Amino acid sequence: MTDMTDPKVFEREAQLGDYFALLKPRVMQLVVFTALVGMLAAPVSVHPVIGFASILFVAIGAGASGALNMWWDADIDAVMLRTKGRPIPSGKVEPGEALGIGVALSGLAVMMLALSANLLAAAMLAFTILFYAVVYSMWLKRSTPQNIVIGGAAGAFPPVIGWLIATGSFAIEPWLMFALIFMWTPPHFWALALFMRSDYDDAGVPMLTVTHGRPATRRHILAYTVLLALLAVGTAFTAIGGPIYLVTAVVLNALFLIGAARIWNRNENDSEADNFAVERKFFRLSLWYLFLHFGAILAESALRPWGLGGWS
């Protein structure tokens, strides 16, 4: 029973905003945007109400998997500087509450997506939630330095779900969008791991920086960025690409490659001298990188009705 005379108990009581923070709103933004692009890039038009509701349920499902992740990772979140203000380590939300919210919202989101869109999209959402909560959070994250590589797949599924909402069937195009996010995730997170140095060490998470050392992480960032650039520019010549996408991809990938090469060229002394300015810049660029690539895919499909999008 709550002690009504102790003011500290009141101050820690969770507000709506704390429950919302459990759903990882910033990850949700990325999920909503990429799922929306997946849905709008599909050759089938969706009724606005059905589209809105379906994307909302995808966002709720993504949020639910975020809550499950925070429930499972509360112990390591409490150690890491970047995450110790999260609702569970800060004592605002009980771990059991987070689990309950995660499970309930997952069920609600999958069921409602099956009703608003179709069974295949709902199955894909269920698979994504399981992949993120079980395969990534519970299994890979603490056991292999490839955690980010394989776990990145969880964040890459939303455009596929978006495409399924519109068409109800698989095609090659959504998997190109999947590949783009999948290949983008490792350099994005490894740059973060380079400048949030002690965090992952302290928490005992086997990030590449911890297991293989920081010079190896720099090499990995460059290698993945080269592969990503080939894929991203190559996508320009597929059904979802076009001139706008090509220009965007060429510019962004040139910048991204320069950034990765500079990271590769540096050692720890250089980085510490300017407080990881190059790594931080690369990380910020990586956010724009993904946003603008998907924005360009959206632009190509939006212009198609006027005969302007794509190569035709």
Partner 1 sequence: MSLRQEHEIHTRRKGRNVGVGLMLAAFVVLVMALTYVKITQSDFRLPDAQGTATQEPDS
Measured from the CB of residue 36, what is the shortest distance to partner 1 in angstroms?
17
Measured from the CB of residue 88, what is the shortest distance to partner 1 in angstroms?
18
Q: Contact between 45 and partner 1 (CB under 8 A)?
A: no
Q: Contact between 10 and partner 1 (CB under 8 A)?
A: yes
The radius of gyration computed from the CA coordinates of the chain, to the nearest angstrom, equals 20
Question: CB-wise, 115 or 230, nearer to partner 1?
Answer: 115
Q: Contact between 4 and partner 1 (CB under 8 A)?
A: yes
Using CB under 8 A, pick the residue from 1, 8, 16, 96 that binds partner 1. Answer: 16
Q: Contact between 115 and partner 1 (CB under 8 A)?
A: yes
Task: Count other Cβ atoms within 10 Å, centred on residue 132.
Answer: 24
Q: Residue 151 has what DSSP assignment?
A: H
- Residues 51 to 80 in contact with partner 1, rule: CB under 8 A: 53, 56
Strand segments, DSSP code E, in the chain are none
Q: Contact between 49 and partner 1 (CB under 8 A)?
A: yes
Q: Contact between 114 and partner 1 (CB under 8 A)?
A: no
Using CB under 8 A, pick the residue from 69, 116, 147, 253 that binds partner 1. Answer: 116
Site of tokens 């894929």: 231
How many residues make contact with partner 1 (CB under 8 A)?
A: 14
Question: What single-letter amino acid sits at 118?
Answer: N
Site of tokens 């499902």: 61
Measured from the CB of residue 9, what is the shortest distance to partner 1 in angstroms?
9
Q: What angle do CA 90, 92, 96 make, to 5 degrees?
A: 105
Q: Which two three-digit tokens encode residue 96?
A: 């059991």
Cα–Cα distance for residue pair 158/169, rounded to 1 Å:
15
Question: CB-wise, 81 or 111, nearer to partner 1?
Answer: 111
Question: CB-wise, 5 or 312, nearer to partner 1?
Answer: 5
Cα–Cα distance for residue pair 129/106, rounded to 1 Å:
7
Measured from the CB of residue 7, what is the shortest distance to partner 1 in angstroms?
9
Quick check: 272 and 227 in contact, CB under 8 A?
A: no
Cα–Cα distance for residue pair 247/236, rounded to 1 Å:
9
Question: What single-letter amino acid sits at 66?
Answer: G
Please choose, out of 49-57, 68-76, 138-146, 222-230, the segment that lies near partner 1 by the rule CB under 8 A.
49-57
Q: Which residues bind partner 1 (CB under 8 A)?
A: 4-5, 10, 13-16, 47, 49-50, 53, 56, 115-116
